[in-house]
């Protein structure tokens, strides 16, 4: 590596790409997990259309991290190239699932987009903060539930009008 300066920069680039892959993969896993939580039937349908079987790897944040905080499923005998191929394959399946969800359930996807951008960190910690902050978080959670139900009703109505 001392003689070949490109080897060092390639290594750094590889780690950066791996970090980006893990960040994207974690986002997609969480998005699919929340879709399954908020819209179980619709998420299952989107996964079926995308040919992404619901396996434990689509369980989201809680199940995707091991006790050390890393993405689970790492095989110590697996080469870095094979691990990268496996993770990219998983990411492609998740991306396809999200695309199908956006295509067939645009209103539900919009609610998920907003949730993932705005509320994800805060709503996990209802009990943390001052009493006023807790009340605001509970209120926002109830608003989110209403948004989810409204989006579901709108998507269902749009599907019914296109089928008639």
At 95 the pLDDT is 93
Rounded distance, CA 155 to CA 98, Å?
15
Q: How many residues does the chain have?
A: 164
Domain ranges of the chain: 1-104, 105-164
Q: Which residues of the chain have pLDDT under 70?
A: 1-17, 53-75, 119-127, 164
Residues with Cβ within 8 Å of 87's Cβ and at least 6 positions away in sequence, in order, are 21, 22, 25, 71
Collapsed DSSP state (helix, strand, coil) of residue 65: strand
Q: What is the pTM of this model?
A: 0.65
């Amino acid at each position: 590596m001392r003689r070949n300066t490109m080897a060092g920069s390639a290594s750094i680039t590889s780690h950066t790409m791996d970090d980006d892959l893990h960040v994207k993969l974690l986002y997609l896993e969480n998005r699919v997990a929340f879709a399954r939580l908020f819209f179980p039937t619709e998420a299952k349908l989107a996964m079926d259309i995308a040919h992404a079987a619901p396996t434990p790897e689509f369980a989201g944040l809680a199940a995707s991290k091991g006790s050390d905080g890393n993405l689970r499923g790492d095989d110590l005998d697996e080469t870095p190239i094979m691990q990268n191929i496996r993770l990219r394959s998983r990411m492609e399946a998740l991306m396809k699932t999200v695309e199908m969800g956006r295509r067939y359930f645009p209103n539900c996807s919009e609610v998920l987009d907003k949730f993932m951008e705005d509320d994800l960190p805060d709503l996990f910690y209802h009990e943390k903060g001052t009493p006023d902050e807790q009340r605001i978080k509970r209120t926002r959670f109830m608003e989110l539930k209403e948004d989810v139900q409204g989006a579901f009703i709108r998507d269902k109505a749009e599907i019914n009008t296109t089928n008639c």
